[in-house]
Amino acid sequence: MAASVSTNRGVWASGLRLALTLFGVILVGGTVGYMLVEGWGVWDAFYMTVITVATVGYREVHTLSFAGEVFTVVLIFGGVGTVFYTVTQLAAVMVEGGLLRGFEQRRMARMLDELTNHFILCGYGRIGSIIADELRQQGVPFVVIERSPDRVQSALARGWLAVEADASEEGVLTRLGIGRARGLIAAVGTDAENVYTVLTARELRRDLFIIARVESDGAEHRLRRAGANRVISPYQIGATHMVQTALRPAVVDFVQLATRSGHLDLSMEQVRVRDQSGLVGRSILDTGIRQKFGVIVVGIQRTDGTMEFNPAPESVILAGDELVVLGRPEHVKALEETVEV
């Protein structure tokens, strides 16, 4: 949509420049022509040219000679077509261009208003673009905030919902539905920008889940103090992943297989246990999750943030726990619908 609108604007601008140039040539040519053919002054020649190409039907300024009549016929054929073309181009720029811009703005506003349970992705650089691809693969709605016009156009060309703005401004985050958002990912260019973005987001919503990208080791504590729930260093994660791949390639392949949504046979997800769920207060063995849903509980994250890996069958499930489960996507979906109702 954005690329199409941009292309149309370029075509209209080019056509309008050509039309105005031709119109100017007609006015100058007609004025000079009457001055040479009839020997009139500049104003009389210019006035005669205008009323001729405008076809308003006024009488001639002076009586025309035969040569003047021939020149007027030529001017009418050339000038009327040029005027019509110029008026058409002006209408296209003022009417059609405005309509498309208005339609684009209304469409963007409507899509932003409809966003819910989405992520706000701040920054669309190398890391941000990869995050956007992963979110789309996971089927998670998101909106991109980026200050660079070129990067915004790049995101729009990919089909993402994107706005050109400063992610640290309260009004911008409010307009992008931070009150309805599932979380915010701060992945702008510098640690300082990420700190300001996290601070603003945390002030607007105390319960929002915020992930921040960090470049330097010294900035991690500042981001956490600003309100980030998770602070991720792409370099550290990349280095750790390379080491794990070198030492335990089969384990890495298994984890990637389990967490990639593109694989249809296996899915690893986290499922929140609601207060009214029938699993609350019961052990994993009593719930029969494995037998009923065909999924394995590989971990339980308690409300205090502690993680129980490979919990025992006697482990009791509490309200607010996050169950990390492994199984076929349809089985995991069935469990989510039962537990989160």
CB 187 within 8 A of CB 125: yes
CA-wise closest residue to 292 among 341, 236, 332: 332
Domain end marker among 96, 113, 130 = 113
The whole-number pLDDT of residue 337 equals 79
- Strand bridging mode 162-164 / 142-146: parallel
Whether 125 and 93 map to the same domain: the answer is no
Other C-beta atoms within 10 Å of 294: how many?
14
Domain encompassing residue 8: 2-113
What pLDDT, on a 0 to 100 scale, did the predictor assign at position 244? 86
Nearest to 116 by CA among 180, 207, 162: 180
Compute the distance between CA of residue 225 and CA of residue 163 in angstroms, rounded to an integer.
Answer: 28
Domain boundary among 92, 113, 134: 113
Q: Find the angle CA(121)-CA(227)-CA(219) to the nearest 5 degrees.
A: 85
At residue 64, the pLDDT reads 82
Q: How many domains does the chain have?
A: 3
Q: Which residues of the chain have pLDDT under 50?
A: 1-8
Domain annotation covers residue 67:
yes
Same domain, 120 and 233: yes
Question: Do 175 and 196 have their domain in common?
Answer: yes
CA distances from 43 to 39, 50, 285 (A): 12, 11, 100
Q: What is the pLDDT of residue 102?
A: 56
Please state the pTM of the whole predicted model. 0.60
CB atoms within 10 A of CB 27: 16
Q: Indicate if 207 and 155 belong to the same structural domain.
A: yes
Residues 108 and 120 in one domain: no
Check residue 145 and give its pLDDT: 94
What the block records as the tokens of 169 is 């401004």
Is 246 among the domain residues? no
**Residue at 57 is within a domain:** yes
